[in-house]
Structure 1
Amino acid sequence: MTILYLHGLESKLSAAKKEILEQYATVIAPDLDYKNNPDAVQEIYEAYKKEAIDYVMGSSMGGFAAYHLGLSFNKPVLLFNPALVKRSVPQNIPNFKTPSSGFGQVVVGGKDTVVDPADTLRFLGDRLKAGFNYRLHLRAEMSHRTPLEVFEEEVRGFFEYREIVR
């Protein structure tokens, strides 16, 4: 199995978080420059559309990209504080032909001051009405950065749930 992990703006997947993900699958974590590339989502799609990707995951800006790519690849997503509504740098949303309404687990930090949790919840409410099937985890104690122990817990829960529904 393979995870496509997309980091946030001005960040990278840490070695510790990569190690957690590698317990479940091979990890592909491209180095992305969202600031200088408003077509990053389209370029990720083109680069990996022929790869055997099983899951798409991301945080913040990477969560935004993972949301759209998960739908286009018809793969489950795990998103941490995804920048689904507003972003500090422009990103074009490709017009993918979406094969399904998608499945995802979305982790939202109640103390996030970078990505407004209220915006994320409104966006997800609209997607629910459109058929997007997701599990929502509200972490009141979490700010924008996902602590390692929360990351590990959420990843484990994501894969345990995926096993139950298979």
Structure 2
Amino acid sequence: MTILYLHGLESKLSAAKKAILEQYATVIAPDLDYKNNPDAVQQIYEIYKTEAIDYVMGSSMGGFAAYHLGLAFNKPVLLFNPALVKRSVVQNIPDFKAPSSGFGQVVLGGKDTVVDPSDTLSFLGDQLKRGFDYHVHLRAEMSHRTPKDIFEEEVGLFFELQGIVR
């Protein structure tokens, strides 16, 4: 199995978090430049469209990209504080033919001052009307960055919902 993990705007997937993901699958974590490439999502799609991707995950800007690529690849997504509504840099949204349903787990920090969780909840509400099954986990204690313990717990819950136990 393979996870495509997309990092946030000014971050990278840490070795500790990558090790958590590697307990479940092979991890592909490309280095992305969202600031200088407004077509990063389309570019990622072109690079990985022939790969056997099983899950798409991401945080913040990477959550935005993972959301759209999950639709394009028709794969389950795990999103941490995804920038689905507002972004600080321009990113073009490709016109992927979206499936009529899908699964996603979205983790939102109640103390996030970078990505407003209420905007994300409103966005997801509209997606539910299209038949998407989203599990939303509101973490009141979490800010924008996801602590390792919460990351590990949420990844475990995601795979448990997929019927996979490590």
TM-score range, shorter chain: over 0.9
Name the aligned partner's letter for residue 20 of structure 1: I
1:120 alignment counterpart: 120
Shift of residue 112, structure 1, vs aligned partner: 0.2
Shift of residue 132, structure 1, vs aligned partner: 1.3
1:38 alignment counterpart: 38
CA distance in 1, matches of 2:132, 2:61: 20
1:161 alignment counterpart: 161
- Displacement over 4 Å in runs of 4+: none
Deviations 1:43-91 (A, max 9, x none): 0000000000000000000000000000110000000000000000000
Contact 1:7 1:61 in 2 (8 A): yes
CA distance in 2, matches of 1:81, 1:65: 12
Percent sequence identity over matched residues? 85
CA distance in 2, matches of 1:125, 1:37: 29
Moved more, 91-100 or 77-86: 91-100
2:129 alignment counterpart: 129
SS at match of 1:163: coil
Q: Mapping of 1:35-114 within 5 angstroms? A: 35-114=35-114
Shift of residue 11, structure 1, vs aligned partner: 0.5
Q: How many pairs does the alignment contain?
A: 164
Contact 1:79 1:104 in 2 (8 A): yes
Name the aligned partner's letter for residue 78 of structure 2: L
Contact 2:111 2:144 in 1 (8 A): yes
CA distance in 1, matches of 2:52, 2:101: 20
User: Please, which runs of 5 or more residues in structure 2 have no aligned partner?
Assistant: none
SS at match of 1:51: coil
Name the aligned partner's letter for residue 37 of structure 1: N
Shift of residue 99, structure 1, vs aligned partner: 3.1
TM-score by length of 1: 0.97
CA distance in 1, matches of 2:45, 2:100: 16
CA distance in 2, matches of 1:72, 1:99: 8
Contact 2:61 2:82 in 1 (8 A): yes
Judged with a 3 Å threshold, the aligned counterparts in structure 2 of structure 1 residues 49 and 100 are, in CA distance, closer, same or farther, namely farther
1:22 maps onto 2:19 in alignment: no
Name the aligned partner's letter for residue 17 of structure 1: K
SS at match of 2:18: helix
SS at match of 1:8: coil
Contact 1:74 1:100 in 2 (8 A): no
